[in-house]
Amino acid sequence: SSPAGPPSTAHSEALFARARMVTPGGVNSPVRAFKSVGGVPRFIASAHGAYLTDADGTRYIDYIGSWGPMILGHDHPAVRQAIGNALAGGTSFGAPSAREVELAELVTRLTGTDKVRFTSSGTEATMSALRLARGFTGRKFIVKFRGNYHGHADGLLVEAGSGLMTNADGPLGAAAPSSAGVPQEYAGLTLVTEYNDPAALDALMAARGHEIAAVIFEPVVGNAGVLIPTPDFLAALHRVKASGALLIADEVMTGFRLSLNGATGLLGLTPDLSCWGKIIGGGLPVGAYGGRAEIMEFVSPQGPVYQAGTLSGNPLAMAAGLATLSTLEADPDIYARLDTYTARLAAGLKDAAQAAGVSISVNHIGSMLTAFHLEAPHGSVGTYTQAAGSDTAGFAAWFQGLLARGIYWAPSQFESIFVSAAHTDTELAATLDAAHAAYAAGWAS
């Protein structure tokens, strides 16, 4: 069913105009600007459960979930109450407090790591884990995979995914580095190879393994759109350890989302170090890195690798993380329910596209999903290079069709969407109705 008329976006437009005067591109993180899909970014006034309400009062079913953290849905009562309790005791101490110990105990227990250090973002977690790997091994080079995104630290902005894949000034597949301001000398310490290509990884490790401090990877990729590792690739990742390089799983997106022990728990991978963010802070700014004691003991003040943060271990953020992880742990069926919703969404999207004669290939795992607008040769998209062949104009048209019908999808072809525990049959049915209508109406134009 098509909407009576597009809802007004006057308030968002006015806010965006003001924002552009005082903030680069009008946003504080690039993908929010809708650059690759066009149209006015919606300024959000409030969020509850599975819904966002924008500045013009229009309600949307939310598939971004703040890009991952809101696995329980927005404004979850347990999380709100935990933040409120913490708030009553002061907002920042710059001294250790009990909630940091409790969250560290919970995270190490759920993930099987020995020790963990909290930061305030995923970027800080990956950046610090790499410094630690270099400090621990005494080696200089790191390996990352094309189209994986690990935050915006200099050495990681090399053939990076997420917003870098749709940055108009840095075309798809751009040669390293993928951002201005990253010196070639620095980018040169980052070696890049293809995800899901075990032979390429083996060859790189055979040639350079003795110089490599760490191989960092997304255990399930979200930032080139969803890419799922093949068993052969997982085996090649395990072989990395033989060279003495550390295996760093970047679970910022997948941690506590694909299982209580993340993607690595689901896939049976045992990394040396892991990085977390997003869900670990329950919607407040938290990141973390952790691993075996012998490695983590290199971190200051115990060891020689420096890393610090004024707001690290912030009491409100720790409270939100504790409430979120405890709620996940207390609900044994939650991951199965998320998986069922997402699988039904995937099947429904394929039907909707097919009914309109549109080719899509849907990758999904747990509560992560990407509908690539292309015809995949073997049914699913496995690599960054394949993903990059998507029809981004077609995706943009479909995205606008969804948005006009009250569905807030990720505003880029190269992102995962995130289903939350607040999404029910009602939201699924409304989403699939909108998807059918958007393909039927918007595609050929």
Query: Which residues have a catalytic role annotated?
Result: 149, 250, 278
Check if the beta carbon of residue 353 is closer than 8 Å to that of residue 359. Answer: yes
Stretch that binds ligand PMP, among 193-201, 203-211, 246-254, 348-356 (CB under 6 A): 246-254
Compute the least distance from the CB of residue 158 to ligand PMP, in Å. 14
**Residue 223 engages ligand PMP in binding (rule: CB under 6 A):** yes
Tokens matching residue 157: 């902005």
Q: Which of residues 131, 150, 257, 373 is near ligand PMP by CB under 6 A?
A: 150
Stretch that binds ligand PMP, among 83-91, 118-126, 263-271, 366-374 (CB under 6 A): 118-126
Tokens matching residue 117: 């250090």
Angle at alpha carbon of residue 53, lines to 51 and 56, rounded to 5°: 155
Q: Left if phi > 0, otherwise alpha if psi is -120 to 50, otherwise beta: which for 38?
A: left
| Closer residue to ligand PMP, CB minimum distance, 190 or 400 | 190
Check if the beta carbon of residue 58 is closer than 8 Å to that of residue 406. Answer: yes
**Residue 65 engages ligand PMP in binding (rule: CB under 6 A):** no
Stretch that binds ligand PMP, among 11-19, 217-225, 363-371, 392-400 (CB under 6 A): 217-225
Q: Left if phi > 0, otherwise alpha if psi is -120 to 50, otherwise beta: which for 119?
A: beta
Among positions 155-174, residues that touch ligand PMP (CB under 6 A) are: 162
Among positions 168-207, residues that touch ligand PMP (CB under 6 A) are: none
Compute the least distance from the CB of residue 164 to ligand PMP, in Å. 11
Q: Left if phi > 0, otherwise alpha if psi is -120 to 50, otherwise beta: which for 27?
A: beta
Site residue total, ligand PMP (CB under 6 A): 17
- Phi and psi (nearest 5°) for 290? -160, 170
- Phi and psi (nearest 5°) for 295? -85, -50
| Closer residue to ligand PMP, CB minimum distance, 289 or 439 | 289
Q: Which of residues 58, 111, 113, 121 is near ligand PMP by CB under 6 A?
A: 121
Among positions 247-276, residues that touch ligand PMP (CB under 6 A) are: 250, 252-253
Residue in the shown chain whose Cβ atom is closest to ligand PMP: 122
Q: Which of residues 69, 222, 225, 265 is near ligand PMP by CB under 6 A?
A: 222
**Which element (helix H / strand E) includes 142?**
strand 141-145
Stretch that binds ligand PMP, among 49-57, 122-130, 315-323, 361-369 (CB under 6 A): 122-130
- For every residue of 342-390, DSSP letters joined together read HHHHHHHHHHHHHHTT---EEEEETTEEEEESS--TTSS--SHHHHTTS
Query: In whole angstroms, what separates CA 418 from the centre of its chain?
Result: 9
Compute the least distance from the CB of residue 201 to ligand PMP, in Å. 18
**Residue 149 engages ligand PMP in binding (rule: CB under 6 A):** yes
Q: Which segments of 24-169 does DSSP mark as H helices, in order? A: 77-87, 98-111, 122-137
Compute the least distance from the CB of residue 395 to ligand PMP, in Å. 19
Q: Which of residues 69, 135, 151, 262 is near ligand PMP by CB under 6 A?
A: 151
Q: Which of 126, 128, 132 is nearest to 144 (CA)?
A: 126
**Residue 67 engages ligand PMP in binding (rule: CB under 6 A):** yes
Stretch that binds ligand PMP, among 40-48, 116-124, 226-234, 312-320 (CB under 6 A): 116-124
Q: Which of residues 277, 283, 313, 382 is near ligand PMP by CB under 6 A?
A: 277
- Phi and psi (nearest 5°) for 140? -105, -35
Contacts of 77 (CB under 8 A, 6+ apart): none
Q: Which residues bind ligand PMP (CB under 6 A)?
A: 67, 121-123, 126, 149-151, 162, 218, 222-223, 250, 252-253, 277, 287
